Amino acid sequence: MPESQHTTPSNPTKFITVFCGASPGRDPEYVEMAQELGREMLKRNYGLVYGGGSYGLMGAIARTIHEGGGKVIGVIPDALKKIERPELEGTNNDEVFGEEIVVKDMHTRKALMNKLTNAFITLPGGYGTMEELLEITTWSQLSIHSKPVILFNMKGYFEHLLKFIEHSVEEKFVVDWSANVIVAGSTAVEVLDKLESYVPPKSRFELKWSDVDTTPKEDFV
């Protein structure tokens, strides 16, 4: 029996949205670390909200939590199903882990993922993962939400991004306080510990939003 199956959460009280790649990356350790995050989420009884894919890091964490008895909600645009959950010709390889919600476009996907979740963790990925991370970070800066935004800095993958943020602050394109929206950890335990102790930086903008698609129903802390 896989380790993840020793813990069987029922009805998680909080959900974490995980942004990550539909690719496994070059090093098998990326997948192993995604699975470890899934096991740690099971231990702490967190449900998963993710992009709905079956492959790469997406599939690794979703499969781990689903097979361990955890709650998984996949949110995927209809147009992406053939890329992130393709059916092989003549066979049904269209795996679905837990509940699937099909939406019309990328904006609706992110808005719903924000509405369903209490926190965000970003794992390695490509352009799409970076876009998701930076948009949700911008939403925090603009007071659309105050939820934890955590990087799982696997194998130093995000070191260049973290240095870019430091450089942007030095060059006065990112304001000092908003540099602290993103917090990074290098292990699954550290990532979840930092998520649980996260204190959102106070936005100097203090904007008020009424868009029901992006206003969170509950913050993590």
Model pLDDT for residues 171-216, shown as the tens digit of each residue: 999 999 999 999 999 999 999 999 999 998 887 667 777 654 444 4
Separation between Cα atoms, residue 64 and residue 3, nearest integer Å: 9
pLDDT digit string, tens, across residues 114-159: 999 999 999 999 999 999 999 999 999 988 899 999 999 999 999 9
Q: Say what the pTM is.
A: 0.86
Q: Tell me, what's the pLDDT at 93?
A: 45
Residue 2 has pLDDT above 50, yes or no: no
Cα three-residue angle 155-219-63, rounded to 5 degrees:
45
The 3-state DSSP class for residue 33 equals helix
Q: Which of 205, 51, 207 is nearest to 131 (CA)?
A: 51
Q: Where in the chain are the domains? A: 3-196
CATH number of 3-196: 3.40.50.450
Q: Please, what sign has the CA dihedral across residues 166, 177, 144, 217?
A: positive
Helix residue ranges, H only, the chain: 28-43, 56-67, 81-84, 106-116, 127-141, 159-170, 188-196
Residue 32 has pLDDT above 80, yes or no: yes
